[in-house]
């Protein structure tokens, strides 16, 4: 959530920056500033009336003590009138604040100056590429056919139990999945991240805190009776651990990692590009989250990118990194780098990770601040990244490592799986 003071101070620059997102902010900014002016003037008037009421109450007490009951009762009528006025002002303040927050909740983050302009993923900019694309046999299979051939993932069984997008991993497929989770967590812990095991459901405040609500409400599974949401990513519960916290200078940086299943409705996702593991309603992911001082956050983002690079190098998967354009940038992000692995059998790139800096956008919603060395209270910067999302990594391994006699397991995973071939 943007800070109103920053909108007021940088209105024209913000309007220009948000055009990168194809978001016209002029009208909404005018309304925000008008509502804030009303809120501030109402708060001032309310404070004045409350101060007057307190003054009168003290005066009435003194009058009763000195026996001036007539004058005291006259003043009591004034306090009664003031109570009615303060009640009306309090209601107006609450309604204005709610209307202001409603507007602010629907304004996306200001893109960093490095974000390229663009309307869609077609305008994202490739900034790095690494790894050799393997030369597969002419009869190479996509991962969904390999999964059936070697009986390691059953999409039909998942459909029977739950529905499309809920696969069942079997035998060596389940063990490979578990190996990837353990490997990712071990790599992150070795890099200094503290591991957490988080709840899979969050309350509404947590959804608003990290920006999934109201922006992604239609994409989240909602347990309406309890007003809880199944998490779309571990970012949500991990970051919300620090909601309403006041950290000290020495607490930072904070680096967290966690594995969770993730749940996304993915409404409107159809077609060949979502076959097999390409897009699921339930999938496993290992997340990294950082809380940083503002001056260190972009160096931290670079470090997260390097962390994902190292994992992909060890898996020996060909990958590229894209800097997302304004039209493809997530609602809460100021700058995002997407990682894509090349699926040789599908002859296409598959997104497997996003590393993002949200700057103060989430922190303002979360009321997450720290005291610097001088005792000044500042909003922190929050960051997160996938390290990594499993389905498309697994798809890349199955397709890129396929051989005539089976699927080779990447060397780095063999200590975790206990086998080096799926056949």
Which residue would you say has higher pLDDT here, 175 or 76? 175
63-91 burial code (b ≥16 CB/10 A, e <16): beeeeeeeebeebeeebeebeeebeebee
Residue 269's pLDDT is: 54
Residue 244 falls in which region: left (phi positive, over 0), alpha (psi -120 to 50) or beta: left
For residues 215 and 365, the answer to whether their CB atoms sit within 8 Å is no
Instruction: Give percent above pLDDT 70 in the chain.
Output: 98
> 300-311: per-residue pLDDT in tens?
999 999 999 999
**Could you tell me if 373 and 269 lie in one domain?**
yes
Domain that holds residue 70: 4-106
Could you say which of 106, 141, 168 is where a domain stops? 106
Do 260 and 399 belong together in one domain? Answer: yes
Q: HSE-up of 145 (CA within 13 Å, CB side)?
A: 8
The answer to whether residues 358 and 107 touch, using CB atoms and an 8 Å cutoff, is: no
Same-domain status, 89 and 130: no
Tell me: do 84 and 128 sit in the same domain: no
How far apart are alpha carbons 168 and 29 in whole angstroms? 48
By the 10 Å C-beta count (0-12 exposed, 13-18 middle, 19+ buried), 252 is classed as: middle
Residue with tokens 């056919």: 145
Of 72, 106, 140, the residue that ends a domain is 106
Task: Please compute the mean of the pLDDT values over residues 281-291 and round it to a whole number.
Answer: 97
**What is the C-alpha to C-alpha distance for residues 332 and 328, in angstroms, rounded to an integer?**
12
What tokens does 15 get?
A: 């309007």
Which alpha helices (H) appear in 191-321, and where do they start and end?
A: 204-209, 235-240, 297-315
Give the pLDDT of residue 70.
75
**Cis peptide before 99, with omega less than 30 degrees from 0?**
no
Mean pLDDT of 109-118: 96
- Confidence band of 67 (pLDDT split at 50, 70, 90): confident
| 142 and 59 inside one domain | no
Mean pLDDT of 23-32: 97
User: For residue 272, what pLDDT band results from cuts at 50, 70 and 90?
Assistant: low
Q: List, as residue ranges, the binding site for L-serine.
A: 233, 264, 287, 384
Binding-site entries: 233, 264-266, 287, 351-354, 384
> What is the average pLDDT score of the chain?
94
CA dist., res. 89 & res. 333, Å (int): 36
| pLDDT at 393 (0 to 100) | 97
**pLDDT band (50, 70, 90) for residue 54:** confident
197 shares a domain with 88: no
Contact 388, 319 (CB under 8 A): no
Domain shared by 159 and 34, yes or no: no
Same domain, 83 and 131: no
Check whether 369 has a pLDDT greater than 70. Answer: yes
Of 48, 78, 106, the domain-final residue: 106
| pLDDT higher at 70 or 192 | 192
Q: Is 115 part of a structural domain of the chain?
A: no
Say if residue 191 is in the same domain as residue 78. Answer: no
Q: What is the mean pLDDT of residues 158-187?
A: 97
The token pair that represents 72 in the structure block = 């005291």
What pLDDT does 101 receive?
Answer: 95
Q: Which residues are annotated binding-site positions for ATP?
A: 264-266, 351-354
- Report the distance separating Cα 187 and Cα 223, nearest Å: 34
Domain count, the chain: 2
pLDDT digits (tens, 9 = 90+) for 188-207: 999 999 999 999 999 999 99
Question: Which is nearest to 112 in space by CA: 299, 289, 365, 359?
Answer: 359
For residue 153, the cross-strand partners are 169
pLDDT value at 273 more than 70: no
């Amino acid at each position: 959530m943007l800070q109103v003071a920053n909108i007021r101070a940088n209105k024209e620059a913000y309007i220009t920056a948000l055009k990168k997102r194809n978001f016209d902010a002029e009208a909404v900014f005018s309304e925000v500033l008008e509502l804030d002016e009303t809120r501030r003037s109402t708060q001032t008037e309310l404070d004045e009336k409350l101060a007057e009421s307190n003054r009168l109450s003290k005066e009435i007490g003194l009058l009763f003590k000195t026996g001036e009951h007539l004058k005291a009762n006259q003043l009591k009528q004034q306090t009664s009138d003031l109570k009615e006025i303060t009640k009306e002002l309090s209601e107006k303040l609450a309604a204005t604040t709610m209307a202001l927050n409603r507007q602010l909740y629907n304004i996306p983050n200001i893109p960093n100056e490095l974000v390229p302009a663009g309307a869609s993923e077609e305008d994202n900019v490739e900034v790095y590429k690494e790894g050799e694309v393997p030369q597969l046999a002419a009869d190479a299979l996509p991962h969904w056919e390999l999964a059936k051939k070697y009986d390691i993932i059953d999409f039909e069984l998942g459909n029977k139990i739950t529905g499309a997008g809920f696969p069942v991993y079997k035998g060596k497929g389940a063990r490979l999945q578990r190996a990837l989770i353990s490997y990712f967590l071990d790599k992150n812990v070795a890099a200094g991240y503290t591991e957490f095991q988080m709840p899979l459901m969050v309350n509404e405040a947590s959804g608003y805190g990290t920006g999934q609500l109201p922006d992604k409400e239609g994409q989240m599974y909602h347990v309406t009776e309890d007003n809880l949401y199944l998490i779309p990513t571990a970012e949500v519960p991990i970051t919300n651990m620090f909601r309403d916290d006041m950290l000290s200078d020495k607490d930072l940086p904070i680096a967290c990692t966690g594995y969770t299943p993730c749940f996304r409705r993915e409404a409107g996702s159809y077609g060949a590009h979502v076959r097999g593991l390409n897009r699921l309603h339930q999938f496993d992911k290992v997340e990294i989250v950082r809380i940083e001082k503002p001056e260190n956050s972009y160096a931290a983002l670079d470090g997260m990118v390097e962390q994902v690079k190292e994992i992909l190098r060890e898996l020996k998967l060909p990958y590229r990194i894209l800097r997302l354009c304004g039209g493809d940038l997530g609602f809460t992000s100021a700058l995002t780098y997407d990682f894509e692995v090349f699926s040789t059998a599908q002859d296409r790139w598959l997104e497997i990770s996003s590393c993002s800096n949200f700057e103060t956008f989430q922190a303002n919603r979360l009321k997450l601040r720290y005291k610097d060395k001088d005792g000044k209270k500042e909003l922190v910067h929050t960051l997160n990244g996938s390290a990594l999302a499993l389905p498309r990594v697994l798809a890349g391994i199955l397709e890129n490592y396929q051989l005539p006699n089976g699927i080779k397991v990447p060397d780095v995973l063999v200590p975790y799986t206990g086998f080096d071939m799926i056949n």
